[in-house]
Structure formats: structure tokens, C-alpha cells
Structure 1
Amino acid sequence: MAFRSLYRAYVRPVYWVAHGLLHDASDAEDVTQETFLVAWRKLPSLQLVGDSLLPWLVTVCRLQSANRMRRQMRDRTREVHGDLDETIPSTVDVEQQIVDADLVERILAEVDTLSELDRRIFRLCAAEGYGYQAAADELGVGHGVVRNRLSRIRTRVRTALKEST
């Protein structure tokens, strides 16, 4: 009976936190349920510091959301690289490899001139495939900061590449 009251009191804010992190209603519902499952398991040993369980539930929700994002990223990577043997070309275009290596080198040289935060944003979003919110959570900055800085980084790199050709 007490858990039902807890659930009813906090399910909506927990859901909206999950939805804000995941940007998908179905995933947010799943994470909300996972959050309350963790709460159910840990409630007997929980020592409440303040008057509300919401901060603790939000923390659990954020961790569950991060776990889901990592799992989805792993699944996408497996889908892309799962049949790698079939996608390897039978002939190697050495000239194209040299052009590609030169392009990568020029991009990385430009990225090296960026601030530490911008280099980390580039690494997470462009190299590791993080979404804006996942990168923001990892870096401890806002979603808008990542989105705006990444846009500026891309423009700067494109401009530098055009100038060097």
C-alpha cells in the first residue's frame, strides 16, 4: 500500500525526467518502470536524508537512462559491424586511402586548435556517436551547450578544410 502511494506521487516527474533524457516515450516508460523496480528493491535499506524521495528517484532514473543509452549504442554498433566480413572490399584503393588519411589528419589538426571542452564535445559526438543529451550528461553541461558548440565546431572544421584545398 505504501509503495503504491510512492509510485502515484512520483511516477509523473520520474517519467518526464526519463523522457527528457531519452526523447522517446516508449523508452521513458520502460526506464520509469525500471526506476521504480530499483526503488522497490532498495526501499527497505534506504535512509532518507530529506523529506522527499524525488531526488533519489531522479538519480536512479538518470542512471537507468544512461544504461539504456549505452545498451542502444552497443546494439547499433553491433548492427553496423556485425557483418563486417561481408562488407570488406576485395580490392584496396590505395589512392583513396591516402586521400582519406590526409582528410582525417587535417580535421584532427583543426580539432587540436579547439578548447578542451570543444575537443571533448567533438570526440564524444563526432567520433564516438553520442547524442547531444548523452554528451551533455557526460560533460556536465547543458544540452544546448553541446548542440551549439558542435554546430560551431563543424562550421569551423568545414571552413578550415575549404581554405586548405
Structure 2
Amino acid sequence: MTTETDEAIVRGMASGDRGALARAFDRYAATLTRYAWALVDDRQDVEEIVQDAFLTLWQRAATLELPADTMLPWLLVVCRNHAFNAGRKRTKHRADELPETLPAPEDHSEARERLRWVRDEIAALPELDRRICEMCLLDGRSYADAAAALGLSVGAVTQRVSRNRRRLRKVVMQDEH
């Protein structure tokens, strides 16, 4: 059994294959959703950010090159940009100004470099918090699974995830300024 490569999926989207977009969504939506939750607290914002990231992928498929054979770093940067734009939009609407938008990354190396902070921040957490973030935010395990694996209560895991999301969100905002 061979698995379709991300490059083949992107080529399919570039030729108008909506099924390719569905396959990209099936492959990466859960990861982008977990990542978006680390950036925003509102379910509607998370859904919009993820949808906007896949719309951007669809629109950019014809010019997108994947030197690392995966679209995930590019999608994560796009997701982060949409989350940042959503935050700026709320702030600027209060001031009755139009929001600016951040461009999608032009190449994979830019995406990888711009996501460097995620790995650095998670690696800098105390060991228990790092393990919880890796399990729940990166690997997609449930809070109950993480709690059982680490010998903690679900409430303790929930509290630590929430605290680390706020920490990561603060770092995102500082990184952008």
C-alpha cells in the first residue's frame, strides 16, 4: 500500500481536484486544529482559522513548492498568520480601521524558520509540561490519555494545557512585534 505524497496532493489541487483538498484536510485538519487552539480560545475562531488555512492552500497550490515533501510546516505558518490576523482584526475593528493581512509563506524554508519558536518554547517548558504539550497539542492525544500515561488527573492536565496555551500565545504576540 502506497500513501499519496503531499506533493501529489498539491499537484492535484493545482489541477482543480477537490478530492485532493479533501485528502489534505483529512491528513492535517486535526493537527491544525490542535495548533489553532494553542493560539486562540474561541471554537469559532479555531474553525475559521483552520478553514482559512485550507482555503489559502487551495488558492496557492499552483505555485506552492514543497522541498521537504510535506505541506505541514507551510500550513502551520498559514494557520498562525490567520490567527494573528484574526486578533488584529478584532483590535482594529474596535478602532474602526481595516485589518492588514500577513502573506502566506513563499517557500518551505521560510515556514520552517518561522515555526522555530514553537519547538524552542515547548522544549523550554518544565519536563512535565513539555510532555503534556507534546502529547495533547502535538500528538493529538486526549487529556484523559495524557493523564493516565502521566499519572495525573484530567483536571491537572487541562489546567497545564490551558496555562501553556496562554504562554505560547503570549510568545506568538511578542514574536510578531
Bigger fraction of residues in helix: 1
TM-score normalised to the size of structure 1?
0.49
Greater RCO, CA 8 A, separation 6+: 2
TM-score normalised to the size of structure 2?
0.46
Which one has the largest radius of gyration? 1
